Every structure is written in C-alpha cells, then in structure tokens.
Structure 1
Amino acid sequence: MAPPRFSHREILATTAGLAIAMLLAMLDNMIVAPALPTILGDLGGLNHLAWVTTGYILASTVATPIWGKLGDLLGRRITFITSIAIFLIGSVLCGMSQNMAELVGFRALQGLGAGGLMVGVMAVLAEIVPPRERGKYQGVMMAVMPAAMIGGPLVGGFITDHLNWRWAFYVNLPLGVVALAVCWFTLAKLPRGTGKARIDWTGSALLTTWITALVLITSWGGTEYDWSSPQILGLAALTVAAFVAFVVVERRAAEPIMPLTVFRNRNFTLAGTLSFIVGFAMFGGMTFLPQFQQFVQGASATNSGLLLMPMMVAMMVTSLAGGALISRTGHYRALPIAGTVLMAAGLALFATMGTDTSKTVTALYMVVLGLGMGCLMQTTMLIAQNSAPLRDIGAATGAATFLRNMGGSLGVSILGSIYAHTLTGSITSNAGPAGDGGDSAARMTPELLRSLPEAARHLFQQAVTDGVGAVFTWAAIIAAAGLLVALAIRHVPLRGFAADKDQPQDAGDTPTEAKATVTA
C-alpha cells in the first residue's frame, strides 16, 4: 500500500506537534537540574541524588528500541500518543512524590515515555515527509536541542525560586496536552502498522537486567554496601551473566533489539566509545555544577541556570561550526581529537575550583568544556553512521545513541557516589567526632545554608567544593583516556550521493564524494 500523502499545511501542523513532543523529552532534565538542591533538602536522601537523573536516562535508553518495534507492529500514531501519555502521567506522579524513592521510581516512568517520544518523532517524520524534503524539517527538530539546553535551566531555576520545585514536573502538562491534541488529529492518516514486526523481548529483558545491575553496582558500591559485600558481588555476577546471555541471544535473534554486527567496524566502535565518554561528561557536568553554584557561589536556582549558558552556547556554536566545516572539506578526524583535549582540559579546570572561585572564572571553564563537547557530539554520531552500510544506518544510530545514554547513566551514578561519599566524609572530618556528615547534608538547602552561622556555613561549602572537585578529577581522567580513542580513529571519506548503498566508503573514494552532504 502506498504511504499516505500529507499536504504542506498538514506537515507543518504535524511538525509543530512533534517539536513540542521532542521539547518535552529534552527539556525535562534541564529543568530538573537547578531544582535538585532544593528537592534533596525537601525530600532528603543525598545518596539517591544520582538516581533522579539516572533512573530517567536508564529507562529511556532501554525503552527506545522497544518503542521503535512497537511502532512497526501497531502503527506510529497509537504508540507515539501512548508514549506522550505515559510521560505526562510520570510527570504528575513526580510532582506528587513524598520521598526520594517515589521520585526515582516515577522518574523512571517518565523515562519510559521519553524513550517513545525521541524515537517516535524521527519515525513519524520519516513516514510523512519524503526523503528529498526531510532535511529542512529535521533542521527544525535540531533547533529544539539548543532551545532546551539554554531555556531549561532558566525555567527550572525560575520555578524553584518563585513557585515550588514540584512545578518543575507539572510544567510538562500544558505542553504535553498541546502535543497530544495536535498529534491526535494530524497523525490520523498514518497506517495502523504491519503487524509483522518481531519484538525481541528476551533481548530487551536481558539488556535491562545487565544495565540496571551495573548501575546499581556503581551507585551502591562503597556507599550503601562494601565492595566485597554479598550484595555487590551478587550484582556483579548478575551483570556478567546477563550480558553474556544478551550477546548470545542477539546473535541468534531474527530481529535483534541491538544488532551486534555494527561493532565489527573499527571506527564505529571507537566513535561509540567517544559517545559514551561525552555522555559521561555532559550529564555529570549538568548534574553537579548547580550544586557548587548554589551552595558555594550563592547563586539562586534561576541564576544557576543562567550561569550554565556559557557552556551551552559554546557547545551549540562549535557543533554548528564543526558540521559546516565537515560539509565543506569532508575531513573530520581533527574534531574528535580537539574535542577530547578541550573536554579533558575543561573538566580538569573545574577540579581546581575552591570556595573563593568567582562566577566569571567558572564561566570561562564552562566555555572550554562546551567547546570540547560541541566538537564531539555531532562528530561522533557522524563517524558512527558513516562507518555502517546504508542498510544498517538505523541500527548504527540507535547503538551510538544507546552508548551515549549509557555513558550518562553510569557517569551520573558513579560521579554521584563519589560526590556523596566525599561530601559527607569532609563534613565528618572537619566537624570532628560530633559531626554527622550524612544527616547534615541530606536535608541541606541553599536557603537553610544561608541561615547557618558563618563557621558552619563555611564547613558545608568546603565539603561541597571537595565533593565537586573529586567528581571533576575523575571525569577529567576519563576524558583524557578518550584522547587515546580519538587518536585511533581513521579518516574514512564520507559517503556521497554516488556512494555504494551497501558498504561504507574506504580511503580510495574520490575527494568529490568525500565532500558530499553529511548527515549527522
């Protein structure tokens, strides 16, 4: 059956609904970050800080390929609208949370819906717009990313300062209702689905199992349980067993949730590794910088959102400039090398911050980090896509996205454990035998900190500085290791319109083909 035809007006209306849906998924983490210090003080549970972000990222990472298969089976319209509804239900429940355990669980529910939003937007766009016209509409979707990165912290900070942190989740409702209404009417012409898609439920279950067990190890090891405890050793055994079983199942599955063949390509594996490192650094920076800005530098939640703008603007400008440079010259290998150097340098600079570090100095450090991430985010995806045959572009894109999200999940989890352990240890050490680092930190808010005596305030600020310093020291080490990965990437000319449809190009292709249009 021929695909349905959409008029220009219908495409514009649908694109508006899709843009709102993508904004929902991308805006959420950015809004929540400035509110985290206040949320922690209200609900307690410093050790669960990382899971507020990790639960969301982890759930969306695992759910993304499942939503894609469900769209093939049931149709894009019903699955996309369902994912929006799940996201909104999760948002409401997050705003109603009474403790950290509830918040983490409901954030995971939000993440399940967000996974469907991300894959649904691109899948629906592919169905309603022919390939020759698709680029300009995808450009609209790409513009949503910087809008979310810059606007999210501002909205989250304003809500925290002037309303209540719970509105950081309730704010999703009006946008979500508009997206639901637009998509309900504009997507009515889409087909119901073939009913022939096979969903790799066994692979999905095993993927969820080993990822969750691994994140639990990094979150609980050395904090909740000793590294040699039966709980941690048991999780380690479960991680290894589930991972081995996952590999075996994916090799035999007719339609694997993650085709492993894409990892046979050297450049793809290297680009995927760099994607992992970028996710590790990006989500780590976004999660822990507001802690330092609000507790140590005295910024309000709104201002801490504004203070993140140098990093976001630098990342956006470099990403756009890098993409234009690659399109013009066909060469890209220098960008991941420069990006890892700048990212490691930025993280190392953050590790040197003290209680007297000014906001201007912090902004300069953010520019360095943003420039590095801007060189890497688009380029790593480009290399991954160019390293796979055209018939496997979808699988390659999904696997690279998975690795980036996985880096974010593990990064926030590992760095969160380091932060909590260092902060509480610093308080206990500096306060003497009477100090109780865990209890004093778990309920601290920026407002409460300002009411403390100067000596107590300085003690807590020093503890936050120690925690953030430890976080960025380890992040810088990981980023420095990424330089070795970047140096190992080989330059493979970029595919052009005349490139072979089944194989990635090799070094023997002509310069003209190498300079053809780049899809990132």
Structure 2
Amino acid sequence: MSRASRTPREPIKEGSMTHRQVLEALSGLLLGMFVSILANTVVSTSLPLILSDLKGSQSAYTWVVTATLLATTVSTPIWGKFADLFNRKLLIQLALGVFVIGSALAGFSQDAGTLIAFRVLQGLGAGGLVALSQIIMADIISPRERGRYAGLFGAVMALGTIGGPLLGGVVTDAFGWRWNFFIALPVTIVAIVLLQRTLHLPPRVKRVVRIDYLGAALITSGVSLLLIWVTLAGSQFEWLSLTSWAMVIGAVVLLVVAIIVEFRAPEPIIPLSLFRNHTFSLSTVASLAVGVSLFGTSVYLSQYMQLARGATPTQSGLLTIPMMGGLLISSTLFGTVISRRGTWKSIMVSGSVLMLAGTTLLGTLDVNTSLVFVGVYMFILGAGVGMVMQNLVLVVQNTIEVRHLGVATSSVTFFRSLGGAVGVSVMGSILGSVVAAQITSRVAALSPANQADAGRLLGDGVIPQVNLLPDLLRIIVETAYGSGVGTIFLVSAPLALVTLVTVSMLPNHALGTETGIDRARDTNLVPAPEPTP
C-alpha cells in the first residue's frame, strides 16, 4: 500500500505512532526548538543598542551571548542523561517552563549584570529543549525516515535564526528592546500545551536510578571555569598572567577528576565508553567547529552590519538573511535526499567544503566589501552548515546503543554548544583587541581637539552608537569593526578544515529503519505494546 493511500490513523514506519500523530507531536517539538533559537537570535541585532542603553562594554556584549551558551552547554549532557532515566515528555515541558521564566525576567533587566544572570536561566531551559527535542524525535522516527523530518528541524532553525534578528530589529525599533524577551512567552506556552496533548511515549521500564551528582558538578564546574577564562582573558587580565594560569590549571584538574569519577560511576553523565564508537568520537570533534560557525556568525555578522556598515537593527536582520536562507534550503533539500536515497556521507563532505569556503571568504571582510559579496559568502557558509549540523546527530543516533540514545544525542549537542561558547568568547576577545588597537592608532593621528572628543566619546570602552558619533570618529569606528570582524572569521577558518577532515573519516554506516521506541522494546527498556483485539 502506498503512503498516500494510508488512512490517518494507520500505523506506519515511524513506530507505534501514526504518521499524523508524528506530525502532531513534532509541532510541539518544533515550537520548543523555535523558542530556544529565538532566545539567542531575537536579541542579536539589538544587542549593540541594549548594551548601550544598559551602559555595557564589549566584554558585557560577549557575556550576554556567552552566558546563555555557557548555561546551555553545561546543562545539555545533564538533560540528556535524565532523558535516559526519566519521563522525556515531562522533562521537555520542564525545560520549557525554565526557559519562559528566564525570558520574562530578562525583559525586566536594569543593568548588564542582571541581564547576564537571567540569560543564564534562559540557557538552562534552552539546553533541555535542544537536546530533548532531538532525543524524542529519534524515539518516534527511524534514522532512514529522519532525514526529511530533520529537514523540518533545519527549516525551523533557519526560520528562527532568520526571523529572530529581523523580528528583534522590528520590535526594538517599534516597542523597545525589552519586548525581545517577552515575545517568546506565548509561543512557549502554546508549545507546552501542544506537547501535553499530542506527544504520546510509552512508559520506560522502572529500575533503580542512580544520578551521578558528583560527575555533574565536576563537569559543570570544569567547563564553566574554562569558558570563563576564555571570556575574560585578554580583557580583564593577560593571557599568560597568574590569574590565567590558575584558572586553566583549575579547569584541567576539575575535568581530570570528572573523568576519573565518570569511569567509576554506575550511571555516568557522559559514559566514556561512547568514545570507543568512532562515529561518536569523530562527530563530537566536528560539532565543535560547527558550533563556532553557527554561533559566531550570527553574533558578529550583526555587529558588522551595525557597527561597520551603519545598519539599523531591522536592516541588520534583513542583511543576514542569506546565511540562514542557505541553511534553510540545504537542510530541507538534502534531508529529503538522505531519506530517499539512504546515503549521507557525500552530502556531509560537500557541506564541510562549503563551510570552509564560506568562512575563508568572510575572512576577507572590511568596511568597503560589497554587501552583495557579503550575502554570497553568508549563503555559502549557511548551506554548508545546513548539510552538516543536523546530520552529525543523525549518524550518531544511527550507530549508538539505544540505552545511551539520550546522552549520546545530548553529547553531540554539548560539544556544538561548547564550540559555540568558546568560539564566541575567543572571537569577541580578538575583536575587542583588534578594534581597540586600530581605534587607538587612528585617533593618535588626529588633532588635539579631535583626540579630546575621541577620549570623551570612546574612552570608556562602551560600545558606541555609531550614528551619533561625529563623522570623523564614525569612519574610524566603522573601519576598525569592518576589518576586525574579517580578522576573526579568518582566524576561525582552520576549524572548518577540522570539520572537513573529521567528516571525511566517519564510517559510512547504512541508516537503520527502526525507531528508538522499537529498539528500546527489543532491549526491554520499554514494555511491549498490548496485543490489539
């Protein structure tokens, strides 16, 4: 019988749920994914204005982004482990609740410090949404069929990343930046209701659960200390200072102890046996570089458009559409191709080549680069990311043991978020240093009167509103940010090469045809369905 002739309630290949039920459940998952992306992208175009209003510096600008990524990163493996132990439907609704509270509080921030703190709460919820949506998707859809559904996730990701900056710009220009945080609230509430009504997962077989609290605390502390060092080094203290060495040594010690604990724990947060799987280990390395491309471009291209090209928040959102358009088209198109043909490796290798090309081309940016060329470069990079990012999760889910499905999925997401957080921090530190050096050298060549104006308007380190500066200083600032953004993309290009190498080495396993629920029944992790009368 063809797919077209099946009745809506007839069970199909996706498992115990019908095709219609799968699509209904995905609607809630997609909304959850959408709001988690919206948390970062909706404020990206208005961050220069937000930080200017809250009297924040370039360091605070980086921290507003990094705080969410940090919280998302450290919480993702914990959410993934909980997904292997507890009710996944309840967990994703809890993640949505944490996210909506953080969003509401962030909208009432009175200074950069409180904004950063509430963004941490947002990140904790977003970590659960990103991990659990992909885990639940693996439960109800087989790897072979998942490609075309993963294209929907890619499309929603692109929509959130395209629409977020544009929506954020429009809302900021029309109502003020605080509404950037409030607009996610109704969408989150709708997602919770949809999941409650449409997501039906079988109960997991009850067993004694041992939560690795010590491992979770050590991993969280070690990764957090490492990310804090990357963020502050070069601005608050020197890279080779005593403080820097203390933080690095402390992070290394915490992570080494965490590895020892994970070896001995009955239920480790990240089972180290997973790294014996070549697909898993190579995918985690590739995900690091993908995270840098995904998060770094969304943050610093908006800064380039506003601070180097004089765009408004709304214009900035429109100008960054080509990258997410490339991601939307490639993820949807090639997701369908993967499901139809069952082959994935050539697509991922080609995507890695596009990532390397796009990142290298963006490394040529300066204040005079044609916006047409900038759009083409962004489209190339976006298409490459769309061909690689979701498929890294797919190939891991296809080869990993089903009892580790949750933690393996969240680990790939964890390393992607880790790459994004470290990448944004390092890129922000490099950008701040390059911009400061260029502004200082150019201001030194001005007349004493203009130097005095520069000291008054630029000397406090706060990100300026370029359109309010005198023409002479505006040109200096735009030139500095134009070449500075190009420099940070050029520095990140070798990571795209790492992605190409690791993806090329992935074992070319065929995609399976069983859902996660079916595989769990085979191993007695969920009870067998009752026989139909």
TM-score tier, shorter chain, comes to 0.7 to 0.9
Q: CA deviation at 1:222?
A: 1.7
Q: CA deviation at 1:354?
A: 2.1
Matched residue, 2:464: 444
Q: CA deviation at 1:251?
A: 1.2
Q: 1:240 aligns with which of 243, 252, 255?
A: 252
Matched residue, 2:414: 402
Matched residue, 2:489: 472
Matched residue, 1:89: 101
Q: 1:368 aligns with which of 356, 374, 380?
A: 380
Q: 1:31 aligns with which of 30, 33, 42?
A: 42
- Secondary structure of the residue aligned to 1:442 is coil
- Secondary structure of the residue aligned to 1:222 is coil
Q: In the comparison of the two structures, how many residue pairs are matched?
A: 492
Does the alignment pair 1:252 with 2:264? yes
Corresponding letter in the other structure for 2:459: D
Q: 1:226 aligns with which of 223, 227, 238?
A: 238
Distance in 2 of aligned mates of 1:452 and 1:337: 46
Distance in 1 of aligned mates of 2:149 and 2:279: 29
Corresponding letter in the other structure for 2:161: M
Matched residue, 1:492: 508
Distance in 2 of aligned mates of 1:385 and 1:6: 19
Moved more, 421-430 or 338-347: 338-347
Distance in 2 of aligned mates of 1:409 and 1:498: 34
Q: CA deviation at 1:78?
A: 4.5
Distance in 1 of aligned mates of 2:198 and 2:395: 35
Q: CA deviation at 1:64?
A: 2.7
Corresponding letter in the other structure for 1:154: L
Distance in 2 of aligned mates of 1:360 and 1:199: 53
Corresponding letter in the other structure for 1:33: S
Q: 2:389 aligns with which of 377, 386, 400?
A: 377
State the TM-score, normalized to the length of structure 2: 0.83
Matched residue, 1:454: 471
Does the alignment pair 1:413 with 2:425? yes
Deviations 1:319-375 (A, max 9, x none): 233334444555444334333332222222222222222221211111121122223
Corresponding letter in the other structure for 2:464: M
- Secondary structure of the residue aligned to 1:355 is coil
Distance in 2 of aligned mates of 1:81 and 1:496: 29
Distance in 2 of aligned mates of 1:72 and 1:120: 10
Contact 1:42 1:443 in 2 (8 A): no
- Secondary structure of the residue aligned to 1:303 is helix
Query: Would the alpha carbon gap of residues 311 and 473 (structure 1) be closer, same or farther in structure 2, given more than 3 Å must change?
Result: same
Query: Would the alpha carbon gap of residues 221 and 187 (structure 1) be closer, same or farther in structure 2, given more than 3 Å must change?
Result: same
Q: % of aligned pairs identical?
A: 37
- Secondary structure of the residue aligned to 1:199 is coil
Distance in 2 of aligned mates of 1:395 and 1:320: 26
Where in structure 2 are the equivalents of 1:182-221 lying within 5 Å? Answer: 182-183=194-195, 194=206, 196-221=208-233
Contact 1:280 1:408 in 2 (8 A): yes
Deviations 1:289-348 (A, max 9, x none): 011111222222112112121111112222233334444555444334333332222222
Distance in 2 of aligned mates of 1:438 and 1:460: 9
Q: 2:500 aligns with which of 483, 494, 497?
A: 483
Deviations 1:207-259 (A, max 9, x none): 11111111112111121101232221111111110111111111111111111
Moved more, 338-347 or 31-40: 338-347
Matched residue, 1:99: 111
Contact 1:72 1:197 in 2 (8 A): no
Matched residue, 2:527: none
Matched residue, 2:182: 170
Contact 2:106 2:118 in 1 (8 A): yes
Q: CA deviation at 1:201?
A: 1.2
Where in structure 2 are the equivalents of 1:8-87 lying within 5 Å? Answer: 15-43=26-54, 44-70=56-82, 75-76=87-88, 78-87=90-99
Query: Would the alpha carbon gap of residues 282 and 498 (structure 1) be closer, same or farther in structure 2, given more than 3 Å must change?
Result: closer
* Structure 1, gaps ≥5 residues long: 503-520
Give the number of the structure with larger relative contact order, counting CA–CA contacts within 8 Å between residues 6 or more apart.
2
Matched residue, 2:332: 320
Q: CA deviation at 1:197?
A: 2.7
- Secondary structure of the residue aligned to 2:46 is helix
Contact 1:350 1:472 in 2 (8 A): yes
Matched residue, 1:350: 362
Corresponding letter in the other structure for 2:129: L
Distance in 1 of aligned mates of 2:326 and 2:201: 41
Q: CA deviation at 1:26?
A: 1.9
Q: CA deviation at 1:268?
A: 2.8
Corresponding letter in the other structure for 2:492: A
| RMSD of aligned alpha carbons | 3.3
Moved more, 248-257 or 427-436: 427-436
Distance in 2 of aligned mates of 1:477 and 1:134: 33
State the TM-score, normalized to the length of structure 1: 0.84
Distance in 1 of aligned mates of 2:143 and 2:364: 50
Distance in 2 of aligned mates of 1:268 and 1:7: 30
- Secondary structure of the residue aligned to 2:459 is helix
Contact 2:270 2:411 in 1 (8 A): yes
Corresponding letter in the other structure for 2:248: A
Distance in 2 of aligned mates of 1:311 and 1:132: 27
Distance in 1 of aligned mates of 2:397 and 2:84: 22
Where in structure 2 are the equivalents of 1:257-336 lying within 5 Å? Answer: 257-336=269-348
Query: Would the alpha carbon gap of residues 133 and 484 (structure 1) be closer, same or farther in structure 2, given more than 3 Å must change?
Result: closer
Query: Would the alpha carbon gap of residues 286 and 216 (structure 1) be closer, same or farther in structure 2, given more than 3 Å must change?
Result: same
Q: CA deviation at 1:68?
A: 4.4
